[in-house]
């Protein structure tokens, strides 16, 4: 019996585990998935949870039903890559022959005060805590509560617009070093700027937050921006677990992998999604929902190839779009070249909302198809890098 252990029950961990199990059903392979929570969290929609929307609740046991994957609930406390063991926080030890590391990344809270005073979107609980905090803030034209969203990337933009639309009585300030939508083309970025203005989001670009206080964020130079609640979306890092185990990681703590998504230092470990530093012809892949499931499916197929004595293929991928929701009723989609640079084409308004909902819909139907072996990898790698 070959034991395959998958760490992480998010989008990528589920896809990898179900894919491997489906392709090795009669091959003497046992697949176990480990996750700290019994809940499947759709991280792409945590900004909706923070704004107060109640989303469907899915258990991992239900999602995995019929897949042949065993679910083990527990937080990974230690990883022995030499002894092929993962230790959980309840004292259990799980042995493996092959490991797929899908624990993703966490918000980089190295800025002083961020860990103590800011909310994050690292899990469902963090989004719920922010929502409850927003419920407590005063409204009205005078003395309205202020929400500071730190980080002007796409997560920050989606969070700021969602909160501003759902809670118009609050003052929302988007603070970041860069301009919102900086990676977009000029016209798509102009539309995003107009949407922020229409929703009343105050934008502070070129602002470096150096400290988070209980009721404010402090900028370089000492200026304070009042904040009754602070959401921190300014950057991510891999969990310390990977580096502590001896796996080779990059400067952001992501596991460095080869073309088959195997760890350069420990080839019996594969890393997928945000947890992996994947080098492609245009540079290192940056973690997005676009690339996550394709890496999971490729890693699963590469692992199956190795188990069958075949050489795995190298991972190829190219970006297609940058979809950004601007509240529930608006969105902007910037179409891109495979290296993620903007093309001329973009969508806005209702057409963009429909497109965004289509590409970020729940993956549960996909997982059902994966259980039956009906989803090819290239169905996800829509613009797979040529060659």
206 and 313 housed in the same domain: no
Do residues 126 and 211 share a domain? Answer: yes
Tokens of 31: 């697949």
277 vs 102: CA distance, rounded Å? 12
Binned average pLDDT, 10 residues per bin, the chain of 387 residues: 96 96 92 96 88 88 96 97 97 98 96 97 93 86 83 95 95 96 96 98 96 97 95 95 97 97 98 96 86 95 96 94 95 96 96 92 87 67 39
Give one word for 182, left, alpha or beta, with left for phi > 0 and alpha for psi -120 to 50. alpha
- Alpha-carbon distance 174 to 193, whole Å? 12
Largest CA distance in the chain: 70
Residue 216 lies in a domain: yes
Please indicate, yes or no, whether residues 98 and 240 belong to a single structural domain of this protein: yes
Stated pTM of the model: 0.93
Q: Is residue 382 part of a domain?
A: no
Same domain, 183 and 251: no
- One domain for residues 84 and 69: yes
User: How far apart are the C-alpha atoms of 161 and 157, rounded to whole Å?
Assistant: 6
Same domain, 154 and 246: no
Yes or no: say if 289 and 11 are a contact pair by the CB < 8 Å rule.
Answer: yes
Same domain assignment for residues 92 and 119: no
Q: Please indicate, yes or no, if residue 301 is contained in any of the structural domains.
A: yes
Report angle CA 214, 215, 217 to the nearest 5 degrees.
90
Number of domains in the chain: 2
Residue 270's beta-bridge partner residues?
Answer: 100, 262
pLDDT at 379: 54
| 88, 75 Cβ separation under 8 angstroms | yes
Question: Could you give the 3-state DSSP secondary structure of residue 84?
Answer: coil
Report the distance separating Cα 367 and Cα 14, nearest Å: 8
Domain boundary (232, 249, 265) is at 232
Tell me, what's the pLDDT at 349?
96
> Which CATH number belongs to the domain containing residue 13 in this structure?
3.50.50.60
Find the domain containing 309 and state its range: 2-107+236-324
Instruction: Pick the last residue of a domain from 305, 324, 343.
Output: 324
Domain endpoint, select from 324, 343, 358: 324
Residue 374 within any structural domain of the chain: no
DSSP element (H, E) containing 345: strand 342-348
User: What is the rounded CA–CA span in Å between residue 129 and residue 146?
Assistant: 16
Same domain for 17 and 30, yes or no, is yes
Query: What is the reported pLDDT for 383?
Result: 40
Q: Identify whether 12 is part of a domain.
A: yes
Residues 342, 184: Cα–Cα separation, whole Å? 6
- Is position 6 within any domain? yes
Give a yes or no: residue 376 inside a domain. Answer: no
* Residue of 76, 80, 34, 36 lying closest to 244 (CA atoms): 80
Question: 128 and 101, same structural domain?
Answer: no
pLDDT at 142: 56
Q: 254 and 223, same structural domain?
A: no
Residues 286 and 228 occupy one common structural domain: no
In a shared domain, residues 101 and 119: no
């Amino acid at each position: 019996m070959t034991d395959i252990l998958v760490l992480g029950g998010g989008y990528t961990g589920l896809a990898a585990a179900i894919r491997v199990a489906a392709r090795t059903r009669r091959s003497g392979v046992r697949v176990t998935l480990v996750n700290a929570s019994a809940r499947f969290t759709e991280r792409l929609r945590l900004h909706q949870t923070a704004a107060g929307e109640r989303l469907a609740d899915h258990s991992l046991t239900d999602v995995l039903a019929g897949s042949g994957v065993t679910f083990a609930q527990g937080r990974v406390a230690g990883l022995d890559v030499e002894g092929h063991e993962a230790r959980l926080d309840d004292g259990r030890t799980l042995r493996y022959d092959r490991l797929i590391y899908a624990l993703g990344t966490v918000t980089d809270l190295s800025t002083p005060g961020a860990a103590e005073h800011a909310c994050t979107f690292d899990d469902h609980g963090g989004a719920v805590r922010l929502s409850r905090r927003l419920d407590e803030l005063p409204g009205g034209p005078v003395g309205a509560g202020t929400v500071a969203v730190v980080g002007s990337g796409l997560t920050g933009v989606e969070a700021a617009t969602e909160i501003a639309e759902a809670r118009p009585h609050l003052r929302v300030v988007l603070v970041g070093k860069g301009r919102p939508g900086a990676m977009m083309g000029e016209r798509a970025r102009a539309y995003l700027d107009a949407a922020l203005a229409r929703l009343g989001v105050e934008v502070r670009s070129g602002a470096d937050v150096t400290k988070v206080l209980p009721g404010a964020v402090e900028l370089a130079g000492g200026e304070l921006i009042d904040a009754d609640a602070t959401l921190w979306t300014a950057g991510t890092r891999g969990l310390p677990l990977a580096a502590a185990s001896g796996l080779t990681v990059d400067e952001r703590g992501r596991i460095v992998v080869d073309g088959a998504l195997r760890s350069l230092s420990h080839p019996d470990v594969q890393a997928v999604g945000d947890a992996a530093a994947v080098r492609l012809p245009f540079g290192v892949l940056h973690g997005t929902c676009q690339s996550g499931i394709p890496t999971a499916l490729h890693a699963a197929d590469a692992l199956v190839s190795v188990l069958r004595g075949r050489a795995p293929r190298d991972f190829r991928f190219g970006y297609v779009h940058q979809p950004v929701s601007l509240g529930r009723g608006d969105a902007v989609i910037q179409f891109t070249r495979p290296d993620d640079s903007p093309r001329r084409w973009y969508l806005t308004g209702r057409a963009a909302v429909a497109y965004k909902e289509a590409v970020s819909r729940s993956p549960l139907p996909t997982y059902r198809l994966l259980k039956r072996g009906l989803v090819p990898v290239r169905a996800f790698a829509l613009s797979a890098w040529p060659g």
